[in-house]
Amino acid sequence: MTTRPPAEVGMPLEAVDTPALLLDLDAFEKNLTRLAAAAAGAGVRLRPHAKSHKCPVIALRQMASGAVGVCCQKVSEAEAMVYGGVSDVLVSNQIVGAPKIARLLSLAAQARVAVCADDAGNVAALDDAATAFGVRLPVLVEVNVGADRCGVEPAEPALALARQIAGSRGLRFAGLQAYHGGAQHIRDYARRKEAIEAAAEKTRRTVELLRRHGLACELVSGAGTGTYPFEAASGVWNELQAGSYIFMDADYLKNLRQDGTPGSEFTPSLFVYATVMSRPAKDRAVLDAGLKALSVDSGMPSVAGMQDVEYLRASDEHGKLTLHDPGRALPLGNKVRLIPGHCDPTVNMYDWYVCCRNDRVEALWPITARGAVL
């Protein structure tokens, strides 16, 4: 059952019911334009990650601003995008198991769809299924460039898998997936830059080895919000996959405060709107937004515009605030905007963006890939 929207178009912000996921359209559009301009300036393609927003409306806005398509992590997420009008999707992940592979190929027959692989058995399964479907599926080899999560090791192991793909009947070798997720959240600017330099070296070495063996990497795709200027300037990557830049979150903001750049060009646009539902003590207020309204995996949210108010602890349906300034008035019923610690899993809890401009609800956008984990 899709939940009802917590607002109606035209409503003043103050009347929006809570908890609600707010999108500040001015900030969102600024972020949209800025990364598009940065990618164009650097001469690299932009393919933003839809796992952050899970909303075809936003994907189409990104493409209208110059993105070539979007990334997805799951087949069901890609289905929501393609059936929402998005014509070009890279599944930047491994797809394992016959039911998911069949759905991936069905989608590849309807739109430009590519996928990543890091395993010979998986490549064989993709090949068999693509051949049976009569679809030629573009496949990128995922290379472990430092995250130590998925991916084959650089150079020889990547070459072996690329050769298998290139030599298959149903697949087409399309390039490399080289994403260093861990680097995005390294607080220190210099160390973050070094991590991407090391990733660039591994990627460059792999691209050159493949080229010497007659395998051209049409795509070298990767990068995220915390590091994209490094990848864009490297001469190695030709496609950026940043996702969080349209929203930002409290964790990314911790990076930015420390170093100034890069990323400081983006503004928080995503908020969880919450109501004070209990004021049991002078220094304590309780909000109606807890673990089912925001994800705390990367730390507690911050309270927008109130540095003296701390979101101390989340329980299932409550957020406990500590009021450090005894002069802070925050009476029962007051509404506050929280900047979530981590935008992606927070968005995944909601069915609607309440899109606002000048403190008025301008649109309600459905999050059609909410819960799309299959």
Of 24, 118, 249, 251, which one interacts with its own copies (CB under 8 A)?
Answer: 118
Is residue 283 a contact point for its own copies (CB under 8 A)?
no
Contacts of 330 (CB under 8 A, 6+ apart): 276, 279, 285, 309, 321, 323, 336
64 three-class SS? helix
Rounded least distance, CB 38 to its own copies, Å = 23
Closest alpha carbon to 285 in 253, 315, 311: 311
User: Which residue, chain included where needed, has tokens 């160390």?
Assistant: 191
Is residue 1 a contact point for its own copies (CB under 8 A)?
yes
**What does the per-residue mask of binding to its own copies show for 8-47, with x meaning CB under 8 A?**
---------xxx----------------------------
Closest alpha carbon to 18 in 369, 350, 289: 289
Rounded least distance, CB 363 to its own copies, Å = 18
Structure tokens at 78: 């890609």
Rounded least distance, CB 31 to its own copies, Å = 19
Count CB neighbours of 242 within 10 A: 27
Q: How far apart are CA 188 and CA 165, in angstroms?
A: 38
- 303-362 residues in contact with its own copies (CB under 8 A) are 314-318, 320, 332-333, 342, 344-345, 348-351
22 three-class SS? strand
Is residue 163 a contact point for its own copies (CB under 8 A)?
no
Q: How far apart are CA 121 and CA 138, in angstroms?
A: 17
Rounded least distance, CB 351 to its own copies, Å = 6
Is residue 370 a contact point for its own copies (CB under 8 A)?
yes
Q: How far apart are CA 26 and CA 30, in angstroms?
A: 6
Rounded least distance, CB 332 to its own copies, Å = 6
233 neighbors 42 (Cβ within 8 angstroms): yes
Whose Cβ is closer to its own copies: residue 34's or residue 318's?
318
Q: How far apart are CA 122 and CA 126, in angstroms?
A: 6
Q: How many residues interact with its own copies (rule CB under 8 A)?
A: 70
Rounded least distance, CB 311 to its own copies, Å = 13
Query: Which spans of this chain sit near its own copies (rule: CB under 8 A)?
Result: 1-4, 6, 17-19, 51, 73-74, 76, 80, 93-97, 99-100, 118-119, 121-122, 144, 148-153, 181, 275-280, 284, 286, 288-289, 291-293, 295-297, 314-318, 320, 332-333, 342, 344-345, 348-351, 366, 368, 370-374
